[in-house]
Amino acid sequence: QIGIFIAFLELFALRQDKDRMPGDLTGAGRLGLPFFLVGGKSGPCDAVSSERSLNAELNNGRLAMLAIVGMISQNGFLGTTGASMWIPGAAFDKELGATMPFKYFDPLGLASDGDAGAFRRRRAAEIKNGRVAMWACMGYITPEYFRWPGYLSPSANLKFTDVPNGVAALSKVPAEGWAQIGIFIAFLELFALRQDKDRMPGDLTGA
């Protein structure tokens, strides 16, 4: 029945006429009112006077398409799209980060067990990864406008200006360069930016 009804809409009631602008259907009026249910027809849309509402419809429609894909995907993988996933958890709903509109954001329910130690570890990781992500955004954008002078690898005759932007740069950096980056990250993790147990997550002695 649903399939037959959809076919009826596509073939008759909501069929797109060639002489009308996209989305301007004879069987539906302003705000999509179903005139076809009472045998009526809507007149042509005035694109000039309706420009604001038409732009709003396009933008909201694009957002709705993304939203329904996200809700269906979430439901398929995690089993629910109910309001319970957005309700603050009882254990940590007063912690920093519990802000509007999501309040305590934990869609996977990782902190539902109320384990304070696990929450502290995840919060420290969240703050650290967030800081890295903010620097990464700057690092992704800056090379579009500025490059260091000189060579990235003199032995490979590779200049900074020879390295492409974005993901393509991953294959251009020599293995020795990645080794240096890895060692520097390990130094930060183990010493300079190590999280002390007696300080709040993200409050580091080296920063």
Which residues have CB under 8 Å from 95's CB, separation 6+?
104, 119, 123
User: Tell me, what's the pLDDT at 114?
Assistant: 87
Which is more confident, 199 or 90?
A: 199
- Mean residue pLDDT of the chain comes to 85
Which residues have CB under 8 Å from 24's CB, separation 6+?
17, 42, 44, 45
Q: Would you call 122 exposed, middle or buried from its count of C-beta atoms within 10 A (0-12, 13-18, 19+)? A: middle
What is the pTM for the complete model shown?
A: 0.59
Q: What is the mean pLDDT of residues 152-171?
A: 92
DSSP 61: H
User: Tell me, what's the pLDDT at 117?
Assistant: 92
pLDDT-derived band at 85, boundaries 50, 70, 90 = low
User: Tell me, what's the pLDDT at 120?
Assistant: 93
